[in-house]
Amino acid sequence: MAEWTIILGNKNYSSWSLRPWLVMEHVGVPYVEEVIQLDQEDTKELILRYSPSGRVPCVHHQGLVVWDSLAICEYLNECFPAKKLWPADPKARMVARAVSAEMHSGFGALREKMPMNIRASKPGKGRTPAVELDIRRIVEIWRSCRGRFGEGGPFLFGHFTIADAMFAPVVTRFRTYDVPLTGSAADYASAVWEMPSLQKWVEAAQAEPWSNPKYDDL
């Protein structure tokens, strides 16, 4: 196995896989990726060969196994401190960690009704009252972080951080489901979408041969 290996789910659907993959791309470390098709009879068995949780993503590095998206991002921050994956200012860093944790553990309605599906176009689908509340909260986070800490760059805290990786799948969702954005929220979503690393992922997702009715027929 290579020095760095990341185990991913389908790039079209696996929002959790996208997050640490973007961070790995950002730090520029050479890595090997293994993509496992989700929701198949042997999916669990295949993932368990790499990940003790039986879920993706998972990273192997020099004999260490790290699973869970946010834990992988934190590990990359420790391995590559010069990449400044969290803001240097303590107050900004606290907010960045808080909004990342909120994304990690919350927004269940959005996840359920508007799953990541990069190849799809579903304008207006999934817009339940609970999802609308999630959307409003996400837009509030984006506007607040940009307004308080965003000077010096187009991202939530100016330069790219783990917080941006955590919200990147939401940017793809808002495009799939045609969620209207204005002002700083629209500018932020555009900046994330235009990242070369995200476009690299999108191209791979579009080229995947697999489909999944669980998400496509929603």
Q: What is the pLDDT of residue 175?
A: 98
Could you give the maximum distance between any two Cα atoms of the chain, in Å?
Answer: 48
pLDDT at residue 1, rounded to an integer: 55
Look at strands 64-67 and 4-9 and give their pairing: unpaired
d(CA 103, CA 99): 6
Contacts of 91 (CB under 8 A, 6+ apart): none
DSSP assigned state of 194: T
β 4-9/58-61 pair status: antiparallel
Q: Residue 110: beta bridge partners?
A: none
Chain centroid, CA 95 distance in Å? 18
Which CATH number is 4-82 given? 3.40.30.10
Give the pLDDT confidence score for residue 132 in this predicted structure. 98
Query: Angle 119-122-131 (CA atoms, 0-180°, nearest 5)?
Result: 115
d(CA 212, CA 65): 28
- Beta-carbon contacts of 159 under 8 Å, excluding residues fewer than 6 positions away, are 84, 152, 153
d(CA 74, CA 131): 28
Q: What is the pLDDT of residue 157?
A: 98
In contact, 96 and 88? CB cutoff 8 Å:
no
Ranges in the chain, pLDDT < 50: none
This prediction's pTM: 0.97
pLDDT tens digits along 107-123: 999 999 999 999 999 99
Query: CA-CA distances (angstroms) from residue 110 to 74, 135, 153, 197?
Result: 25, 8, 28, 24
> Looking at residue 214, what is its pLDDT?
87
Asked if 57 and 20 touch (Cβ cutoff 8 Å), the reply is: yes
What residue spans define the domains of the chain? 4-82, 86-200
The domain made up of 86-200 is a member of CATH 1.20.140.10: no
